[in-house]
Amino acid sequence: MKRRSMRRRIAVAFLGVAVFAGVFGGVLAVLFAYTTEDHIFDRLLAVEVTQLQQAGSPGKALPEPELPFAAYYREAELPAFLREAIEQEPGRSEVFGPGGSHYHLRRVESAAFAASVWIVLQVEDYLVVRPVLTKITVFLALAILAIILVAAVTSLYLAHRVTGPLRSLAAEVTALEPDDLPTDWAGRYPPDEVGALADTLGDAFGRIHQFIDREQRFTQDASHELRTPLAVVESCAALLAKGPDPAQADTLVARIRSAAMAMHLSVDALLALAREDDPECIGRRIAVLPIIERTIINYSSLLDGKPVALSVSVDPEWKIAGDAAALQVLIANLVSNAFRYTDEGEIRIERDGDDLVVIDSGVGIDESLRPEVTKPSIKGGASPGLGLGLSIVERLCRRYRWRFDLSSSPDGTRARLTLG
């Protein structure tokens, strides 16, 4: 479909309005002149009516008119061409006579003369508009032409000026690349409809950028969160393949089931992070201790051979309103970090009011990394992962309106989740 230029359409519309206004104004000017002229003759007829009524008396002849181009006629004395015109159109007050003559007339019922009297003004010598009508028409045509020329130039300028921001916006949008979408268009365009469109596009590009970011993070997060449960499943499957005794088989199967459940919860939580809409209010309350216990089982291999004392001090009745999948991912990240980076000493998992606290005596977080430790891909030199765990924790807390606080020193790390 062929596109039409908005600039041209605006210019044509503006020019059309100017032409209509010029022609309509010219017609009104001519009509005004004609109406004014006729009104003057009507006032002169009114003067003659007064003169006739004041001078008349029974039995007398008609008086002399006040104006030199006026005449009084009784009904029977009216010129034939005037009488014919009146008979054809009763109530007529203007008649064009032979030879270019022009008359204005009025009928007066006069008791003084016992008959109707016609007052007739022969005005062809006193006309103002008709003799100069050609000149007026030429003048108006030239004036309208000048208006059209001025309007054409003005319309082109205004159309160019008005559509300039829109054309600039269209060019900028056309030149955009999918991986370089702007999000800072606020205030860059005039505060009008174009500015509103630019702001709307900026918001849309911001949402698209967030969508792309969520999609990329989902891939990274899934890789990070599913790696350990998959390793547990693989190791347990390898042991089962060697034909262990029944007691060990039951334990390995339980670990596989626990790892599968962890993967299921992780996928649910990561999908929730990938969605654009806010999470719905969770009415069901979930117990915290079973999630902690399942996490300890899944990551217990990280403590194998380490002289680390583990203690859990969490009320079995402690329940919170929230999402089990999200809480599983949060606790798994904090507990696995404590297990991985603590070579000796102790790890304590405790409840403190509405807070879940994980305390370890590990190496702590490098001081240079602490301000940005929750950003993606930020990790210490000893970390085998992608540096996404604490980033996921922070984003989940922000999404579910929980609070996460992390403090660290060379003597260990304290992670606090406020779940109330």
Task: Express each pLDDT in 182-240 by its tens digit.
Answer: 666 656 676 666 677 777 777 766 666 666 665 656 555 555 556 667 677 777 777 77
The CA-based dihedral angle spanning residues 276, 281, 283, 289, taken in that order and rounded to the nearest 10 degrees = 70
What's the rounded mean pLDDT across residues 103-125? Answer: 82
Q: Which residue has the tokens 């117990």?
A: 287
Given the structure tokens 């008005």, which residue do they identify? 162
Mean pLDDT, rounded, of the chain:
77
Range with the poorest average pLDDT among 62-71, 98-107, 295-304, 383-392? 383-392
Q: Do residues 334 and 395 make contact, with C-beta atoms less than 8 angstroms apart? A: no
Residue 17 predicted with pLDDT over 90: no
What average pLDDT score do residues 168-172 get? Answer: 73
One DSSP character per residue, 226-290 reads: HHHHHHHHHHHHHHHHT---HHHHHHHHHHHHHHHHHHHHHHHHHHHHH-SSPPPP--SEEESHH
DSSP H helices in 63-181: 80-88, 133-174
Q: What structural domains does the chain harbor?
A: 6-147 (no CATH), 210-418 (3.30.565.10)
What's the mean pLDDT in 50-69?
A: 76
Binned at pLDDT 50, 70 and 90, residue 307 comes out as very high
- Tokens encoding 293: 């216990």
pLDDT of residue 268: 62
Instruction: Give the Cβ contact number of residue 381 at 10 Å.
Output: 6
Which has more confidence, 382 or 215?
215
Query: pLDDT value at position 351?
Result: 93
173: Cα separation from own chain's centroid: 16
Sheet with 345-352, strands from edge to edge, namely: 308-313, 345-352, 355-360, 412-418, 403-409
* pLDDT of 386 over the 50 cut: no
What does pTM read for this prediction?
A: 0.43
| Percent of the chain at pLDDT exceeding 70 | 70
Confidence of residue 383 (pLDDT cuts 50, 70, 90): very low
Question: Which has the minimum average pLDDT: 25-34, 286-295, 302-311?
Answer: 25-34
- The pLDDT assigned to 93 comes to 87
Residue 33 burial (C-beta neighbours within 10 Å; 0-12, 13-18, 19+): middle
pLDDT digits (tens, 9 = 90+) for 119-165: 889 988 888 887 887 888 888 888 888 888 888 888 888 877 777 77
